[in-house]
Structure 1
Amino acid sequence: MSSKPQSMVMLGRNVKHITRNPTTVFNAVLMPIVILLMFVYMFGDAFDVGVDYIDYATPGLMLLAVCYGLSSTAISVSSDFTKGIINRFKVMDVTRASVLTGHVVASLLTNLIAIAALIGVAFLLGFRPSASFAEWLGVVGIVLLLGFAAGWFTVAMGLASKSPETAGIAAVPLVMLPFFSSAIVPAETMGPGLRQFAEYQPFTAMIEAIRGLLEGAAESSDVITAIAWCLGIALVGFLWAGSTFKKRA
Protein backbone atom coordinates (compact mmCIF):
# COMPACT_ATOMS: atom_id res chain seq x y z
CA MET A 1 0.00 0.00 0.00
CA SER A 2 1.36 3.45 -0.87
CA SER A 3 2.02 5.92 1.93
CA LYS A 4 -0.68 8.37 0.80
CA PRO A 5 -3.68 6.03 1.29
CA GLN A 6 -2.19 4.89 4.62
CA SER A 7 -1.93 8.51 5.76
CA MET A 8 -5.59 9.10 4.86
CA VAL A 9 -6.62 6.00 6.80
CA MET A 10 -4.64 7.16 9.85
CA LEU A 11 -6.16 10.63 9.53
CA GLY A 12 -9.67 9.20 9.39
CA ARG A 13 -8.96 7.06 12.45
CA ASN A 14 -7.74 10.05 14.47
CA VAL A 15 -10.64 12.25 13.40
CA LYS A 16 -13.10 9.57 14.56
CA HIS A 17 -11.39 9.43 17.95
CA ILE A 18 -11.67 13.21 18.29
CA THR A 19 -15.36 13.38 17.34
CA ARG A 20 -16.22 10.56 19.76
CA ASN A 21 -14.62 12.34 22.71
CA PRO A 22 -16.74 15.30 23.90
CA THR A 23 -13.98 16.51 26.24
CA THR A 24 -11.55 16.81 23.35
CA VAL A 25 -14.07 18.74 21.26
CA PHE A 26 -14.81 21.08 24.18
CA ASN A 27 -11.16 21.78 24.95
CA ALA A 28 -10.17 22.29 21.33
CA VAL A 29 -13.19 24.19 19.96
CA LEU A 30 -15.38 25.58 22.73
CA MET A 31 -12.84 26.50 25.42
CA PRO A 32 -11.17 29.25 23.32
CA ILE A 33 -14.61 30.77 22.74
CA VAL A 34 -15.35 30.67 26.47
CA ILE A 35 -12.05 32.44 27.16
CA LEU A 36 -12.83 35.04 24.48
CA LEU A 37 -16.20 35.80 26.08
CA MET A 38 -14.65 35.91 29.53
CA PHE A 39 -11.90 38.37 28.64
CA VAL A 40 -14.05 40.61 26.46
CA TYR A 41 -17.02 40.86 28.84
CA MET A 42 -15.35 40.49 32.23
CA PHE A 43 -11.90 42.05 31.82
CA GLY A 44 -11.91 43.97 28.54
CA ASP A 45 -12.73 47.36 30.08
CA ALA A 46 -9.88 46.96 32.57
CA PHE A 47 -7.20 46.89 29.86
CA ASP A 48 -6.05 50.04 28.08
CA VAL A 49 -4.72 48.74 24.75
CA GLY A 50 -5.45 51.76 22.53
CA VAL A 51 -8.10 49.98 20.41
CA ASP A 52 -11.30 48.06 21.01
CA TYR A 53 -10.32 45.15 23.20
CA ILE A 54 -12.01 42.59 20.93
CA ASP A 55 -9.74 43.76 18.08
CA TYR A 56 -6.68 43.48 20.30
CA ALA A 57 -7.46 40.12 21.90
CA THR A 58 -8.71 38.10 18.92
CA PRO A 59 -5.30 37.55 17.25
CA GLY A 60 -3.81 36.19 20.47
CA LEU A 61 -6.80 33.99 21.19
CA MET A 62 -6.54 32.55 17.68
CA LEU A 63 -3.14 31.14 18.64
CA LEU A 64 -4.48 30.12 22.01
CA ALA A 65 -7.04 28.05 20.12
CA VAL A 66 -4.18 26.20 18.44
CA CYS A 67 -2.65 25.34 21.80
CA TYR A 68 -5.82 24.17 23.54
CA GLY A 69 -6.10 21.06 21.40
CA LEU A 70 -2.49 19.97 21.86
CA SER A 71 -2.84 17.97 25.06
CA SER A 72 -5.35 15.61 23.45
CA THR A 73 -2.94 15.05 20.55
CA ALA A 74 -0.09 14.20 22.94
CA ILE A 75 -2.34 11.84 24.89
CA SER A 76 -3.56 10.13 21.72
CA VAL A 77 0.00 9.54 20.46
CA SER A 78 1.14 8.21 23.82
CA SER A 79 -1.91 5.92 24.04
CA ASP A 80 -1.06 4.37 20.67
CA PHE A 81 2.30 3.30 22.09
CA THR A 82 1.26 2.22 25.57
CA LYS A 83 -1.67 0.14 24.29
CA GLY A 84 0.43 -1.66 21.68
CA ILE A 85 -1.42 -0.20 18.70
CA ILE A 86 1.82 0.85 17.04
CA ASN A 87 3.05 -2.76 17.16
CA ARG A 88 -0.13 -3.84 15.38
CA PHE A 89 0.50 -1.25 12.69
CA LYS A 90 4.03 -2.60 12.26
CA VAL A 91 2.67 -6.10 11.68
CA MET A 92 0.30 -4.63 9.09
CA ASP A 93 3.27 -2.92 7.40
CA VAL A 94 1.88 0.56 8.02
CA THR A 95 4.59 3.19 7.47
CA ARG A 96 5.92 5.32 10.29
CA ALA A 97 5.28 8.48 8.27
CA SER A 98 1.58 7.73 7.87
CA VAL A 99 1.07 7.09 11.60
CA LEU A 100 2.71 10.35 12.67
CA THR A 101 1.32 12.43 9.81
CA GLY A 102 -2.20 11.25 10.63
CA HIS A 103 -1.91 12.72 14.13
CA VAL A 104 -0.41 15.99 12.87
CA VAL A 105 -3.05 16.56 10.18
CA ALA A 106 -5.91 15.66 12.56
CA SER A 107 -4.54 18.22 15.02
CA LEU A 108 -4.28 20.82 12.26
CA LEU A 109 -7.88 20.24 11.12
CA THR A 110 -9.10 20.61 14.70
CA ASN A 111 -7.18 23.88 14.96
CA LEU A 112 -8.78 25.27 11.81
CA ILE A 113 -12.28 24.42 13.03
CA ALA A 114 -11.58 26.00 16.42
CA ILE A 115 -10.17 29.19 14.90
CA ALA A 116 -13.03 29.50 12.41
CA ALA A 117 -15.53 29.21 15.27
CA LEU A 118 -13.57 31.72 17.36
CA ILE A 119 -13.42 34.28 14.55
CA GLY A 120 -17.15 33.85 13.91
CA VAL A 121 -17.94 34.63 17.55
CA ALA A 122 -15.46 37.52 17.53
CA PHE A 123 -17.28 39.11 14.58
CA LEU A 124 -20.54 38.81 16.50
CA LEU A 125 -18.89 40.65 19.41
CA GLY A 126 -17.72 43.53 17.18
CA PHE A 127 -14.40 42.36 15.77
CA ARG A 128 -13.72 44.52 12.73
CA PRO A 129 -10.30 43.92 11.10
CA SER A 130 -9.14 46.13 8.24
CA ALA A 131 -7.04 43.46 6.53
CA SER A 132 -7.09 43.04 2.78
CA PHE A 133 -7.57 39.67 1.09
CA ALA A 134 -3.79 39.25 0.76
CA GLU A 135 -3.31 40.08 4.44
CA TRP A 136 -5.96 37.52 5.40
CA LEU A 137 -4.02 34.97 3.37
CA GLY A 138 -0.96 35.92 5.41
CA VAL A 139 -2.89 35.34 8.63
CA VAL A 140 -4.06 31.94 7.41
CA GLY A 141 -0.51 31.07 6.38
CA ILE A 142 0.96 31.85 9.81
CA VAL A 143 -1.84 29.97 11.57
CA LEU A 144 -1.30 26.92 9.36
CA LEU A 145 2.45 27.07 9.93
CA LEU A 146 1.97 27.26 13.69
CA GLY A 147 -0.57 24.44 13.67
CA PHE A 148 1.81 22.29 11.62
CA ALA A 149 4.77 23.12 13.88
CA ALA A 150 2.86 22.66 17.12
CA GLY A 151 1.40 19.40 15.79
CA TRP A 152 4.82 17.88 15.15
CA PHE A 153 6.21 19.15 18.44
CA THR A 154 3.25 17.74 20.36
CA VAL A 155 3.49 14.39 18.56
CA ALA A 156 7.14 14.26 19.60
CA MET A 157 6.19 15.00 23.21
CA GLY A 158 3.59 12.24 23.12
CA LEU A 159 6.15 9.78 21.76
CA ALA A 160 8.67 10.71 24.45
CA SER A 161 6.17 10.39 27.32
CA LYS A 162 5.98 7.19 29.32
CA SER A 163 2.20 7.28 29.73
CA PRO A 164 -0.84 9.20 28.39
CA GLU A 165 -1.14 10.99 31.73
CA THR A 166 2.46 12.19 31.50
CA ALA A 167 1.87 13.28 27.90
CA GLY A 168 -1.12 15.39 28.92
CA ILE A 169 0.86 17.09 31.67
CA ALA A 170 3.84 17.68 29.36
CA ALA A 171 1.61 19.64 26.97
CA VAL A 172 0.39 22.05 29.67
CA PRO A 173 3.31 24.52 29.28
CA LEU A 174 2.46 24.85 25.58
CA VAL A 175 -1.16 25.60 26.47
CA MET A 176 -0.12 28.22 29.03
CA LEU A 177 2.63 29.90 26.99
CA PRO A 178 0.31 32.25 25.03
CA PHE A 179 -0.92 33.72 28.33
CA PHE A 180 2.64 34.91 28.99
CA SER A 181 2.82 36.82 25.73
CA SER A 182 1.17 39.90 24.25
CA ALA A 183 -2.06 37.94 23.67
CA ILE A 184 -4.03 39.47 26.54
CA VAL A 185 -2.18 42.72 27.30
CA PRO A 186 0.80 44.50 25.69
CA ALA A 187 4.13 43.11 26.84
CA GLU A 188 5.41 46.57 27.79
CA THR A 189 2.76 46.84 30.52
CA MET A 190 4.09 43.78 32.35
CA GLY A 191 6.51 43.81 35.27
CA PRO A 192 10.28 43.37 34.96
CA GLY A 193 11.35 39.84 34.05
CA LEU A 194 7.96 38.84 32.75
CA ARG A 195 8.05 41.71 30.26
CA GLN A 196 11.35 40.55 28.78
CA PHE A 197 10.14 36.96 28.62
CA ALA A 198 6.92 38.00 26.89
CA GLU A 199 8.77 40.17 24.37
CA TYR A 200 11.15 37.44 23.22
CA GLN A 201 9.12 34.25 23.42
CA PRO A 202 7.85 32.81 20.09
CA PHE A 203 4.13 33.40 20.56
CA THR A 204 4.51 37.15 20.92
CA ALA A 205 6.20 37.38 17.51
CA MET A 206 3.42 35.32 15.92
CA ILE A 207 0.67 37.29 17.64
CA GLU A 208 2.15 40.65 16.67
CA ALA A 209 2.52 39.49 13.06
CA ILE A 210 -1.12 38.37 12.91
CA ARG A 211 -2.32 41.48 14.74
CA GLY A 212 -0.44 43.70 12.31
CA LEU A 213 -1.82 41.84 9.29
CA LEU A 214 -5.39 42.12 10.59
CA GLU A 215 -4.90 45.82 11.21
CA GLY A 216 -3.47 46.28 7.72
CA ALA A 217 -0.17 47.55 9.13
CA ALA A 218 2.08 44.53 9.57
CA GLU A 219 5.79 44.97 10.20
CA SER A 220 7.85 42.77 7.88
CA SER A 221 10.23 41.99 10.74
CA ASP A 222 7.35 40.56 12.80
CA VAL A 223 6.17 38.38 9.93
CA ILE A 224 9.67 37.09 9.18
CA THR A 225 10.32 36.36 12.86
CA ALA A 226 6.99 34.53 13.20
CA ILE A 227 7.69 32.37 10.15
CA ALA A 228 11.22 31.62 11.39
CA TRP A 229 9.89 30.50 14.78
CA CYS A 230 7.27 28.26 13.16
CA LEU A 231 9.79 26.62 10.83
CA GLY A 232 12.25 26.12 13.66
CA ILE A 233 9.67 24.52 15.95
CA ALA A 234 8.43 22.31 13.10
CA LEU A 235 11.94 21.12 12.31
CA VAL A 236 12.72 20.32 15.95
CA GLY A 237 9.41 18.50 16.37
CA PHE A 238 9.80 16.52 13.16
CA LEU A 239 13.35 15.38 13.93
CA TRP A 240 12.51 14.63 17.57
CA ALA A 241 9.41 12.64 16.61
CA GLY A 242 11.25 10.61 13.96
CA SER A 243 14.14 9.83 16.29
CA THR A 244 11.90 8.82 19.20
CA PHE A 245 9.69 6.69 16.97
CA LYS A 246 12.70 4.72 15.74
CA LYS A 247 13.83 4.07 19.31
CA ARG A 248 10.45 3.02 20.70
CA ALA A 249 8.70 1.33 17.77
Structure 2
Amino acid sequence: MTTPTAFAPTAVALTGRSLRISSRQPDALITALMLPVMLMLIFVYFFGGAIDTGTAYVTYVVPGAMLLCAGFGAASTAVAVADDMRNGVVDRLRSLDVGGVPILAGHVAASVARNLISTALVLAVALAIGFRPQAGPLGFLAAAGLLLAYITAISWLAAALGLLAKTPEAAGGFTFLMMFLPYPSSAFVPIDTMPGWLHGFADHQPLTPVIESLRALLLDQPAGNSPWVALIWCAGILALAVVLSATLFERRTR
Protein backbone atom coordinates (compact mmCIF):
# COMPACT_ATOMS: atom_id res chain seq x y z
CA MET A 1 0.00 0.00 0.00
CA THR A 2 1.23 3.49 -0.82
CA THR A 3 2.55 5.23 2.31
CA PRO A 4 1.31 8.74 3.22
CA THR A 5 4.69 10.27 2.34
CA ALA A 6 4.61 8.61 -1.10
CA PHE A 7 0.98 9.47 -1.81
CA ALA A 8 1.47 13.03 -3.08
CA PRO A 9 4.31 12.38 -5.58
CA THR A 10 2.57 9.22 -6.79
CA ALA A 11 -0.70 11.07 -7.35
CA VAL A 12 1.13 13.91 -9.12
CA ALA A 13 2.91 11.43 -11.40
CA LEU A 14 -0.35 9.69 -12.26
CA THR A 15 -2.03 13.05 -12.87
CA GLY A 16 0.73 13.86 -15.36
CA ARG A 17 0.18 10.48 -17.00
CA SER A 18 -3.56 11.17 -17.44
CA LEU A 19 -2.87 14.61 -18.88
CA ARG A 20 -0.32 13.21 -21.33
CA ILE A 21 -2.84 10.61 -22.49
CA SER A 22 -5.37 13.40 -23.06
CA SER A 23 -2.85 15.37 -25.11
CA ARG A 24 -2.30 12.31 -27.33
CA GLN A 25 -6.02 12.13 -28.08
CA PRO A 26 -6.61 15.52 -29.71
CA ASP A 27 -9.94 14.52 -31.24
CA ALA A 28 -11.44 13.60 -27.86
CA LEU A 29 -9.86 16.66 -26.23
CA ILE A 30 -11.19 19.06 -28.86
CA THR A 31 -14.65 17.52 -28.60
CA ALA A 32 -14.67 17.87 -24.82
CA LEU A 33 -13.53 21.50 -25.08
CA MET A 34 -15.71 22.63 -27.96
CA LEU A 35 -18.99 20.77 -27.45
CA PRO A 36 -20.11 22.82 -24.41
CA VAL A 37 -19.24 26.00 -26.32
CA MET A 38 -21.23 24.85 -29.33
CA LEU A 39 -24.23 23.95 -27.18
CA MET A 40 -24.10 27.36 -25.51
CA LEU A 41 -24.02 29.08 -28.90
CA ILE A 42 -26.94 26.95 -30.12
CA PHE A 43 -29.04 27.86 -27.10
CA VAL A 44 -28.17 31.55 -27.31
CA TYR A 45 -28.63 32.06 -31.05
CA PHE A 46 -31.20 29.40 -31.96
CA PHE A 47 -33.48 29.34 -28.91
CA GLY A 48 -32.59 32.41 -26.85
CA GLY A 49 -34.92 34.73 -28.74
CA ALA A 50 -37.91 32.56 -27.87
CA ILE A 51 -37.11 32.19 -24.15
CA ASP A 52 -38.03 34.95 -21.72
CA THR A 53 -35.74 34.92 -18.70
CA GLY A 54 -36.06 38.57 -17.74
CA THR A 55 -32.50 39.28 -18.86
CA ALA A 56 -30.24 38.74 -21.85
CA TYR A 57 -30.31 35.02 -22.52
CA VAL A 58 -26.52 34.69 -22.67
CA THR A 59 -26.40 36.09 -19.14
CA TYR A 60 -28.87 33.47 -17.99
CA VAL A 61 -27.35 30.46 -19.74
CA VAL A 62 -23.63 30.73 -18.88
CA PRO A 63 -23.76 28.91 -15.49
CA GLY A 64 -25.54 25.97 -17.12
CA ALA A 65 -22.94 25.84 -19.89
CA MET A 66 -20.20 25.69 -17.26
CA LEU A 67 -21.84 22.67 -15.66
CA LEU A 68 -22.18 21.03 -19.07
CA CYS A 69 -18.38 21.30 -19.31
CA ALA A 70 -18.05 19.44 -16.04
CA GLY A 71 -20.41 16.71 -17.24
CA PHE A 72 -18.47 16.10 -20.45
CA GLY A 73 -15.17 16.13 -18.58
CA ALA A 74 -16.48 13.63 -16.05
CA ALA A 75 -17.58 11.30 -18.83
CA SER A 76 -14.04 11.14 -20.17
CA THR A 77 -12.76 10.36 -16.67
CA ALA A 78 -15.10 7.39 -16.31
CA VAL A 79 -14.01 6.07 -19.70
CA ALA A 80 -10.31 6.48 -18.81
CA VAL A 81 -10.70 4.59 -15.51
CA ALA A 82 -12.62 1.77 -17.21
CA ASP A 83 -9.97 1.61 -19.93
CA ASP A 84 -7.17 1.31 -17.37
CA MET A 85 -9.04 -1.50 -15.64
CA ARG A 86 -9.63 -3.39 -18.88
CA ASN A 87 -6.11 -3.00 -20.26
CA GLY A 88 -4.36 -4.17 -17.11
CA VAL A 89 -2.76 -0.82 -16.31
CA VAL A 90 -4.17 -0.87 -12.79
CA ASP A 91 -2.85 -4.39 -12.22
CA ARG A 92 0.64 -3.26 -13.24
CA LEU A 93 0.46 -0.27 -10.91
CA ARG A 94 -0.75 -2.48 -8.08
CA SER A 95 2.25 -4.76 -8.64
CA LEU A 96 4.42 -1.68 -7.98
CA ASP A 97 2.66 -1.21 -4.63
CA VAL A 98 0.60 1.76 -5.83
CA GLY A 99 -2.69 2.02 -3.95
CA GLY A 100 -6.13 2.68 -5.36
CA VAL A 101 -6.48 6.20 -3.96
CA PRO A 102 -3.48 7.73 -5.80
CA ILE A 103 -4.49 5.93 -9.01
CA LEU A 104 -7.98 7.38 -8.90
CA ALA A 105 -6.78 10.73 -7.54
CA GLY A 106 -4.57 11.07 -10.63
CA HIS A 107 -7.58 10.62 -12.90
CA VAL A 108 -9.66 13.06 -10.84
CA ALA A 109 -6.96 15.74 -10.73
CA ALA A 110 -6.50 15.49 -14.51
CA SER A 111 -10.27 15.77 -14.94
CA VAL A 112 -10.34 18.90 -12.80
CA ALA A 113 -7.52 20.45 -14.85
CA ARG A 114 -9.27 19.66 -18.15
CA ASN A 115 -12.55 21.01 -16.82
CA LEU A 116 -10.99 24.27 -15.68
CA ILE A 117 -9.57 24.82 -19.16
CA SER A 118 -12.93 24.01 -20.75
CA THR A 119 -14.76 26.32 -18.33
CA ALA A 120 -12.33 29.15 -19.06
CA LEU A 121 -12.99 28.66 -22.78
CA VAL A 122 -16.76 28.78 -22.27
CA LEU A 123 -16.41 31.94 -20.19
CA ALA A 124 -14.17 33.59 -22.80
CA VAL A 125 -16.66 32.85 -25.59
CA ALA A 126 -19.54 34.02 -23.40
CA LEU A 127 -17.75 37.33 -22.77
CA ALA A 128 -17.20 37.70 -26.51
CA ILE A 129 -20.93 37.29 -27.25
CA GLY A 130 -22.22 39.63 -24.57
CA PHE A 131 -21.98 38.06 -21.12
CA ARG A 132 -21.20 40.78 -18.59
CA PRO A 133 -20.65 39.53 -15.02
CA GLN A 134 -21.09 42.11 -12.27
CA ALA A 135 -19.31 40.27 -9.46
CA GLY A 136 -16.49 41.75 -7.46
CA PRO A 137 -13.32 39.85 -6.52
CA LEU A 138 -15.01 38.01 -3.64
CA GLY A 139 -17.93 37.04 -5.83
CA PHE A 140 -15.63 35.60 -8.49
CA LEU A 141 -13.64 33.71 -5.86
CA ALA A 142 -16.82 32.29 -4.33
CA ALA A 143 -18.13 31.24 -7.76
CA ALA A 144 -14.78 29.65 -8.66
CA GLY A 145 -14.66 27.79 -5.34
CA LEU A 146 -18.19 26.44 -5.78
CA LEU A 147 -17.51 25.38 -9.35
CA LEU A 148 -14.28 23.65 -8.25
CA ALA A 149 -16.17 21.80 -5.51
CA TYR A 150 -18.77 20.60 -8.02
CA ILE A 151 -16.18 19.53 -10.61
CA THR A 152 -14.20 17.61 -7.97
CA ALA A 153 -17.32 15.85 -6.68
CA ILE A 154 -18.59 14.66 -10.04
CA SER A 155 -15.08 13.71 -11.18
CA TRP A 156 -14.83 11.32 -8.21
CA LEU A 157 -18.33 10.06 -9.00
CA ALA A 158 -17.24 9.45 -12.59
CA ALA A 159 -14.20 7.51 -11.34
CA ALA A 160 -16.55 5.30 -9.33
CA LEU A 161 -18.75 4.74 -12.38
CA GLY A 162 -15.64 3.84 -14.39
CA LEU A 163 -14.89 1.15 -11.82
CA LEU A 164 -18.48 -0.06 -11.89
CA ALA A 165 -18.51 -0.44 -15.66
CA LYS A 166 -16.99 -3.48 -17.33
CA THR A 167 -16.01 -1.65 -20.52
CA PRO A 168 -15.16 1.95 -21.49
CA GLU A 169 -18.30 2.03 -23.66
CA ALA A 170 -20.46 1.12 -20.67
CA ALA A 171 -18.69 3.77 -18.58
CA GLY A 172 -19.64 6.40 -21.17
CA GLY A 173 -23.24 5.25 -20.93
CA PHE A 174 -23.25 5.39 -17.13
CA THR A 175 -22.17 9.04 -17.18
CA PHE A 176 -25.06 10.05 -19.45
CA LEU A 177 -27.06 11.07 -16.38
CA MET A 178 -24.44 13.66 -15.38
CA MET A 179 -24.59 15.19 -18.86
CA PHE A 180 -28.40 15.10 -18.88
CA LEU A 181 -29.05 16.63 -15.43
CA PRO A 182 -28.47 20.28 -16.47
CA TYR A 183 -31.50 20.12 -18.78
CA PRO A 184 -34.25 19.44 -16.16
CA SER A 185 -32.93 22.27 -13.99
CA SER A 186 -32.81 26.06 -14.14
CA ALA A 187 -29.78 25.95 -16.46
CA PHE A 188 -31.50 26.84 -19.73
CA VAL A 189 -35.07 27.86 -18.90
CA PRO A 190 -36.82 29.04 -15.72
CA ILE A 191 -38.28 26.10 -13.84
CA ASP A 192 -41.74 27.67 -13.67
CA THR A 193 -42.00 27.36 -17.49
CA MET A 194 -41.67 23.56 -17.26
CA PRO A 195 -44.62 21.17 -16.86
CA GLY A 196 -45.92 21.14 -13.30
CA TRP A 197 -45.07 17.47 -12.75
CA LEU A 198 -41.40 18.28 -13.37
CA HIS A 199 -41.12 21.15 -10.90
CA GLY A 200 -40.43 18.99 -7.84
CA PHE A 201 -37.48 17.23 -9.44
CA ALA A 202 -36.06 20.35 -11.09
CA ASP A 203 -36.27 22.34 -7.84
CA HIS A 204 -34.61 19.71 -5.68
CA GLN A 205 -32.01 18.04 -7.86
CA PRO A 206 -28.34 18.89 -7.06
CA LEU A 207 -27.55 21.02 -10.11
CA THR A 208 -30.26 23.62 -9.55
CA PRO A 209 -28.75 25.17 -6.38
CA VAL A 210 -25.29 25.07 -7.98
CA ILE A 211 -26.57 26.91 -11.06
CA GLU A 212 -28.62 29.41 -9.05
CA SER A 213 -25.63 30.12 -6.83
CA LEU A 214 -23.24 30.63 -9.74
CA ARG A 215 -25.75 32.91 -11.47
CA ALA A 216 -26.27 35.01 -8.35
CA LEU A 217 -22.56 35.22 -7.51
CA LEU A 218 -21.47 36.14 -11.05
CA LEU A 219 -24.20 38.76 -11.42
CA ASP A 220 -23.78 40.13 -7.88
CA GLN A 221 -27.34 39.27 -6.91
CA PRO A 222 -28.75 37.90 -3.63
CA ALA A 223 -28.05 34.17 -3.46
CA GLY A 224 -30.05 33.30 -0.35
CA ASN A 225 -29.19 29.88 1.02
CA SER A 226 -28.48 28.39 -2.42
CA PRO A 227 -24.66 28.35 -2.00
CA TRP A 228 -24.94 26.39 1.24
CA VAL A 229 -27.38 23.93 -0.28
CA ALA A 230 -25.07 23.57 -3.28
CA LEU A 231 -22.04 22.92 -1.05
CA ILE A 232 -23.98 20.32 0.96
CA TRP A 233 -24.87 18.54 -2.30
CA CYS A 234 -21.24 18.68 -3.45
CA ALA A 235 -19.95 17.37 -0.12
CA GLY A 236 -22.52 14.56 -0.10
CA ILE A 237 -21.72 13.52 -3.67
CA LEU A 238 -17.98 13.65 -2.96
CA ALA A 239 -18.25 11.56 0.21
CA LEU A 240 -20.44 8.97 -1.48
CA ALA A 241 -18.19 8.84 -4.54
CA VAL A 242 -14.96 8.39 -2.55
CA VAL A 243 -16.42 5.59 -0.43
CA LEU A 244 -17.95 3.92 -3.48
CA SER A 245 -14.66 4.23 -5.40
CA ALA A 246 -12.66 2.66 -2.58
CA THR A 247 -15.14 -0.21 -2.24
CA LEU A 248 -15.35 -0.92 -5.97
CA PHE A 249 -11.58 -0.67 -6.42
CA GLU A 250 -11.01 -3.19 -3.65
CA ARG A 251 -13.48 -5.60 -5.21
CA ARG A 252 -12.17 -5.22 -8.75
CA THR A 253 -8.51 -5.72 -7.77
CA ARG A 254 -8.75 -8.69 -5.41
Partners of 2:8 and 2:227 in 1: CA distance? 32
**Which residue number in structure 2 is paired with residue 110 of structure 1?**
114
Partners of 2:194 and 2:91 in 1: CA distance? 49
Partners of 2:197 and 2:108 in 1: CA distance? 34
**Which residue number in structure 1 is paired with residue 101 of structure 2?**
97
What secondary structure is seen at the aligned counterpart in 2 of 1:139?
helix
Partners of 1:6 and 1:225 in 2: CA distance? 34
User: Which segments of 5 or more consecutive residues in structure 1 lack a partner in the other structure?
Assistant: none
TM-score, normalised by the number of residues in structure 2? 0.95
**Which residue number in structure 1 is paired with residue 222 of structure 2?**
218
From 154, 168, 171, give the equivalent of 2:158: 154
What secondary structure is seen at the aligned counterpart in 2 of 1:113?
helix
**Which residue number in structure 2 is paired with residue 43 of structure 1?**
47
1:59 aligns with 2:79: no
**Which residue number in structure 2 is paired with residue 186 of structure 1?**
190
Partners of 2:82 and 2:68 in 1: CA distance? 23
Partners of 2:201 and 2:61 in 1: CA distance? 19
**Which residue number in structure 1 is paired with residue 35 of structure 2?**
31
Number of residue pairs aligned between Structure 1 and Structure 2: 249
**Which residue number in structure 2 is paired with residue 124 of structure 1?**
128
Of stretches 18-27 and 3-12 in structure 1, the one that deviates more from structure 2 is 18-27
| Ranges of 4+ aligned residues in structure 1 off by more than 2 Å | none
Q: Is the 8 A contact 1:159 1:245 kept in 2?
A: yes
**Which residue number in structure 2 is paired with residue 11 of structure 1?**
15
| Overall identity of the aligned pairs, in % | 36
Partners of 2:68 and 2:76 in 1: CA distance? 15
Q: Is the 8 A contact 1:75 1:165 kept in 2?
A: yes
Partners of 1:101 and 1:129 in 2: CA distance? 33
What secondary structure is seen at the aligned counterpart in 2 of 1:72?
helix
Q: CA RMSD in A?
A: 1.1
1:9 Cα shift?
Answer: 1.1
- 1:218–1:105 CA distance, 2 compared to 1 (3 A): farther
**Which residue number in structure 2 is paired with residue 77 of structure 1?**
81
1:97 Cα shift?
Answer: 1.7
**Which residue number in structure 2 is paired with residue 199 of structure 1?**
203
Partners of 1:87 and 1:173 in 2: CA distance? 29
- 1:180–1:23 CA distance, 2 compared to 1 (3 A): farther
Partners of 2:52 and 2:125 in 1: CA distance? 22
User: Which segments of 5 or more consecutive residues in structure 2 lack a partner in the other structure?
Assistant: none
Partners of 2:11 and 2:96 in 1: CA distance? 14
Of stretches 139-148 and 94-103 in structure 1, the one that deviates more from structure 2 is 94-103
Of stretches 32-41 and 212-221 in structure 1, the one that deviates more from structure 2 is 212-221
TM-score, normalised by the number of residues in structure 1? 0.97
Partners of 1:207 and 1:36 in 2: CA distance? 15
Alignment-mate amino acid for residue 148 of structure 1? T
Partners of 2:12 and 2:55 in 1: CA distance? 44
Partners of 1:147 and 1:218 in 2: CA distance? 23
1:227 Cα shift?
Answer: 0.5
What secondary structure is seen at the aligned counterpart in 2 of 1:179?
coil
Alignment-mate amino acid for residue 6 of structure 2? S
Alignment-mate amino acid for residue 53 of structure 2? V
Partners of 1:149 and 1:218 in 2: CA distance? 25
Per-residue CA deviations over 1:58-101 (Å, capped at 9, x if unaligned) read: 01111111111122111110111111111100111122221010
What secondary structure is seen at the aligned counterpart in 1 of 2:182?
helix
From 126, 132, 135, give the equivalent of 2:139: 135
Q: Is the 8 A contact 1:160 1:244 kept in 2?
A: yes
Of stretches 197-206 and 25-34 in structure 1, the one that deviates more from structure 2 is 25-34
